[in-house]
A and B are shown apart, each in its own frame.
Chain A
Amino acid sequence: MSRAASLARYSLWQFRDFALERGLPILIISFLWGYALIAPIRGALGSQMDSVLASPIWPLVLQGASTLVTLSVLIALNGMVSSDRKLGYYRFLFSKPVNPVLYYAQAFFVGLIGVVLSMLLLSGLVHTILPIFSIVNFLLYTALIYVAMGGIGFFVSVATRFDWVSLAAVWLGSRILRSLYGAKGDWRSKAVELLPPVHKLDEVANSLIGTGTAHATDVLWLLGYGALFFVLGLVLLRWGSLAE
């Protein structure tokens, strides 16, 4: 059996691990969060649910949905590479004829499928309550954020053992630095342009989840940034040491 075929078969185990260790927590948190978000809206609007789009509550729904995707991606990516290294699982995994770069690239895409499926379940439920909420738009946004944020998360997981904290710090730090220096017009505003494009998220979330469209440049910037860091993570995995 070829190495590629063996690794492809192993994706079923990776998916099982994702479902049990990450998918389930994502769904539980999502349902609790979703319920906490939707229940007051239902209570406030009563039978006038169709008017939700025009109500001030709609941006809150979009914001909540966006935050939920961010949280799900954080859970999905947490420790993807660093846990195996910290806990020593890499020793038996990679004494087999397996390329770690391909193994973790596959795990990344299994995670993408898992997060999208989890969000499909959630958005399906939201859609039954709020028919205006588009499942397709939400899943597009989910996939975009998985690549954008997940790519950086993957790199951080390869580079450091404290990946969840590091990714959250990068994400929050970028937001803070951009809000502080983004509009200054000096070298600092140029420097913060190199940080992850988190400032584009709100706009993209509102337009993509709400209308299914977004500025192509924003989407490409987010995708490109994430993809670049994903590739950098793979390069680091190839040329770095698996053992700590």
Chain B
Amino acid sequence: MADVPQTGDANSHTAALVIEFKNVGKTYKSLLGNSVKAVEEFSLTAVEGEILGIAGPNGAGKTTLIAMMLGYLRPTTGTVEINGMHARQYVERNGIGYLSELIAINPKWRAETALVRFATLAGIAPSEIRTRVDYVVDLLGLAEHRTKKVKALSKGNLQRLGLAQALLRDEQILVLDEPTHGLDPVWTQRFRDIVEDLRRPDRTILIASHNLDELQRLADRVVIIDRGRLQRVVSTGYENAAPVEGTRYRLTLASGHDLIRTVFPQAEDAGRGEYDVTVHGLAELNAALADLIGRGALVASVVPERSVLEQQFREAVGESQ
């Protein structure tokens, strides 16, 4: 993993710029005159073909940033542009596939009619609405719930309905705020597959999530924000990974338990054939594993105690506290 500049500029010179936050700030003022800075001097760009993750603790400003990107909130300072247009202007002309953290759909509507309504508003031709609705209903496994009222849907099904309305149209930009919140493990995995299928050279996807593992798997870059400020931008690709000092891994051996301390003298026995080892970078880890396997041990799994993104997140958030 490699840090990229703190301005959050996309690490690409070939892909076209799609979303640009320029020194954006948002201050909320109460009637009593108290003010709270939700976002400060935030600059970021996202390019075509990119999946950009946004991570941050509660109240970091993720949802405020997204609200400004959709034009629901006006920045106090700076601008948000999409394809060179003012964000709200872009949304009103082109639309964005948006899944909000809070799924707010009129509870009296039925799931299917809600999708038909949204498809109508999205500008899908009347002759195609049925096809598109059927497609997203099948994609999100909502067939048995299509006639249910929204208020009768479980949290997970409501989340899937929210995602379904975001995918009704073939949008160039998708913004997914806590997309797997409330989904069971099967649908969480299914969601990841769907997002991978949505990846396209001319599409930009933003995913805001607390789930760092999910962002590690899906995003090309992850923006870590805290207290309304951009703390760090992390590239999730391992191919350019810089050595990370003192990373702990849990090693599971199927056989060759007596060999572990020959290769990892400091290994700690965690029981049930598992050992905690500390290495200084991927090269050291791979060399040690090769040695271990060469000596006849059978390695069942190697899992970092914390993902690199999680380490970066802890450092970034810790630094800002």
Contact = CB atoms under 8 A, between A and B. Distances in A.
The answer to whether A and B belong to the same complex is yes
Interface of A: 1-3, 6-7, 9-10, 13, 20-21, 87-99, 241-243
Interface stretch (B14-22, B70-78, B132-140, B300-308): B70-78
A86 to B, nearest CB: 10
16 contacts: A3-B92, A9-B120, A10-B120, A20-B108, A88-B100, A88-B102, A91-B70, A92-B100, A92-B162, A92-B165, A96-B118, A98-B92, A99-B92, A241-B72, A241-B73, A242-B72
Interface string B116-127: 011011111110
Contacts of B91: 94-95, 97
Given A88-B102, A94-B91, A97-B91, A3 B123 contact: yes
Interface residues of B, number: 33
A87 B104 contact: yes
Contact of B121 (A7, A20, A88, A242): A7
Contacts of B125: 1
B104 A6 contact: no
Interface string B92-125: 1111111010101110100000000110111111
B104 A97 contact: no
B67 interface: yes
B106 A89 contact: yes
B70 A95 contact: yes
A92 B92 contact: no
Contact of A13 (B72, B73, B117): B117
Given A97-B94, A241-B72, A243-B67, A92 B120 contact: no
A241 B74 contact: yes
B73 A92 contact: no
B105 A92 contact: yes
A30 B108 CA distance: 24
Contacts of A6: 120-124
Interface string B155-180: 00000001001100000000100000
Contact of A95 (B93, B96, B102, B117): B96
Contact of B122 (A90, A97, A99, A241): A97
Contacts of A21: 108
Contacts of A241: 72-74
A105 to B, nearest CB: 14
Most chain A beta carbons < 10 A, residue from B67, B72, B102, B165: B72
Contacts of B108: 20-21
Contacts of B73: 241-243
Contacts of B100: 88, 91-92
B72 A96 contact: no
Top 8 A-B pairs ranked by shortest CB distance? A88-B104, A95-B98, A97-B95, A243-B72, A96-B121, A6-B123, A91-B100, A96-B122
A1 B123 contact: yes
Given A1-B125, A10-B120, A92 B67 contact: no
Interface in B58-87: 67, 70-74
A2 B71 CA distance: 21
Nearest to B95: A97
Nearest to B105: A92
B117 A10 contact: yes
B92 A91 contact: no
Contacts of B70: 91, 94-95
A6 B118 CA distance: 10
A82 B74 CA distance: 18
Given A1-B126, A97-B95, A241-B74, 15 more contacts: A6-B122, A13-B117, A88-B102, A93-B118, A93-B121, A95-B70, A95-B95, A95-B166, A96-B95, A96-B121, A97-B94, A97-B121, A98-B92, A241-B73, A243-B67
